[in-house]
Amino acid sequence: MGRPLQIDRQSVLEAGLLLADENGLAAVTMQSVADMLGVTPMALYRHVANKADLLDGLVELLLTDVPLPPATMEWRERLAWMARALRDTAQRHPAVFLLLLQRPATTAGALHVRDAVCAALREGGVAGPAVARTERVISTAILGFVASEAGGRFGSRSTREVNADFAAVEAMVEAYLDRLS
């Protein structure tokens, strides 16, 4: 008999993401992830505490899929870069992307992305408690549009029209940031 497959947290999360991409988020169960990895469900509990932890890990995978922009970019350019990169991630993982609207970022990797947004806002002159609020407002605007697009809401619209709508959301975020500066 062969040696059991060695798994780690990353392989568990990647299996969950692949299942969601192929069969939808409802298909992601501890049993289905274990089956995909060729292990028993109990083997997963060394790497994820429960299904909630698995879903939090999927949020982390989605957010860490968003490449952080070069620190040399101007702060507004970094925010725009991250918004566009988030949109690209949503287009690659539409079935699981809605998790970002349902679950807060709680893992260290997921918080790293939020912290990059907050750092850019502080660099732009947003101070104190307004940083967290501003991050929530602009993230919700971008996430809302991107999740709507990933979920098929704009299916009857042309790519050109959807891109123009996204540019309008970016302009609204810019206007909001102008009010804070």
Tens of pLDDT, residues 73-117: 999 999 999 999 999 999 999 999 989 888 988 888 889 889 999
pLDDT of residue 15: 97
- Expressed in angstroms, the distance from the first to the final Cα of the chain is 66
Claim: this prediction has a pTM higher than 0.85: yes
Low-confidence ranges of the chain (pLDDT < 70): 1-5, 181
| CATH for 68-180 (1.10.1060.10, 1.10.1200.10, 1.10.357.10, 1.10.10.10) | 1.10.357.10
Which token pair is 21?
A: 């991409």
- Non-local CB neighbours of 79 within 8 Å, separated by 6+ positions: 117, 120, 121, 138, 173, 177
Is there a contact between 107 and 60 (Cβ–Cβ < 8 Å)? yes
> What's the rounded Cα separation, in Å, for the pair 32 and 145?
30
Rounded Cα distance, 27 and 31, in Å = 10
Q: What is the C-alpha to C-alpha distance for residues 75 and 72, in angstroms, rounded to an integer?
A: 9
Instruction: Name the segment(s) of the chain with CATH classification 1.10.10.60.
Output: 9-48
Give the CATH fold of the 9-48 domain. Arc Repressor Mutant, subunit A (1.10.10)
